[in-house]
Amino acid sequence: MSQEVWVKTGAEFIPSPREKVEIWRTGDLTEEEKKKPYAKYFYRDLNPPDPDVLKAMEKPIDPSRAITPEQINDLLEPGYLDCEIGWCQMPDGTGFIANLNKMPGVTVEMVYWWFTWMTLNDLRYKIWYKPSHIGHYISPETRKAILDPKSRIPEDTLWGRTHYAVEDIGVGPEFIHIHFKSPEECGFDMKRFKKPYVSGLVAGYGDEMMLNDPHAPRGCAVMCHILRDVEGGIEWRTRFWMGYRLEKGRADKVLPPGEKVPEEAIRGLALHNAHEFANYKVMLPDIYRELGGKIFED
């Protein structure tokens, strides 16, 4: 990526992603952030992932146990797939990640509220998982849609919207443009996209830019968090397909021939996912109850 592109890309992001990294490196909140009623969540101890999950993430799985993004509808089958927790580099060089989180006390309504309310400032993104989450932007039009009481959640506030997240998942700060998509746009068979097979979806694809090296090629990954109601809560099934993007309901491999997504990058994202959603599942019911599930700016 040329420097010229970077300068232009950065013009709408105020303060800049790099300035947000500097604040994050202090390890604390700004004085303004500390005044917000939900700042206390930043200072809570993190809920760690289940040790079994971390153990499953230690080594790659056999790629034959993975599914490709073309098999996304397999996630609508009852029960579980061969691999629900694990990661690997596929023979074609792309990356695969699966994770399963049981979330007692969490509802799909809470999840959609979170992915709407959370976007409105950096602090909300930080309290989700402070070791990695640095900052977050949305466009003025997305903000307007989120704050409009007439908007449908998630149809108007999440699906079709872009989140611009700054995070560090172990390879240095990255600026990720996450394009959230509706189930149709992800390629799901809408005849089967219903309860009890699925209760909700947070999915799309992301383009990433390394903040320390804006000239490095951009990575791309399809992300799929598919939610299912279970007794007393939900289960959160994650799949990442690294090296792919989504286009009009179809996953397209964008990884050039001969290139491979590095194993450390796949494992890094798998572990990050395990950690961030381990904390999320404990924090979400508490903050949702406290704030009444309302959408507000400050």
Partner 1 sequence: MPKVIACSRRRPGLTKADYFRYLQFIHGTISHKFSRPEMGWYTQNHVIDSAFGTTKDSTYGGIANRDAAVELSFASFPDLYACFMHPDVVKWVASDGKFFADEPNTIVMITEEYEKPVPNPLDTFNPGYGLASGVGAGKVMQFLRRAEGVFLDDFYQYWNEAHEYAMENAPYCRKELRRYVQSHRLAQSDNVKAHFGTVNVPDYDGVASYWFDTPYHLSAFREYNEALMNYEKRWCDWSMSFYLFVKEVPIHYKER
Q: How far is the CB of 218 from partner 1 (least distance, A)?
A: 5
Pick left, alpha or beta for residue 93 (phi over 0 → left; psi -120 to 50 → alpha; otherwise beta). Answer: left
Q: Least distance to partner 1 from the beta carbon of 296, Å?
A: 22
Query: Residues of 146-169 as b/e, b for ≥16 C-beta within 10 angstroms?
Result: beeeebebbebbbbbbebbbbbbb
**In whole angstroms, how close is the CB of 162 to partner 1 at the nearest point?**
4
Q: Please state the closest distance from residue 282 (CB atom) to partner 1, in A.
A: 32
Nearest distance from C-beta of residue 18 to partner 1, angstroms = 17
Binding site for partner 1 (CB under 8 A): 1-5, 8, 11-12, 137, 139-142, 161-162, 164, 177, 207, 217-218, 220, 245, 247, 252-254, 256-257
Residues 108/200, Cβ–Cβ less than 8 Å: yes
CB nearer to partner 1: pick between 183 and 206:
206
* Spatial CB neighbours of 59, under 8 Å, sequence gap ≥ 6: none
For residue 249, how many other CB atoms are within 10 A of its CB? 13
Letter for the amino acid at 45? D
Closest CB to partner 1 among residues 196, 257: 257
Give the C-alpha separation, 41 to 142, whole Å. Answer: 25
Residue among 248 and 294 whose Cβ is closer to partner 1:
248
Encode 37-53: b = buried (16+ Cβ within 10 Å), e = exposed. Answer: ebbebbeeeeeebeeeb
Q: Give the three-state DSSP class for 219.
A: strand
Name residue, tokens 């079994």. 52
Comparison of 57 and 246: residue with beta carbon closer to partner 1: 246
The residue among 192 and 250 lying less far from partner 1, judged by its C-beta, is 250
Between 13 and 38, whose beta carbon lies closer to partner 1?
Answer: 13
Quote the least distance from Cβ 208 to partner 1, whole Å. 9
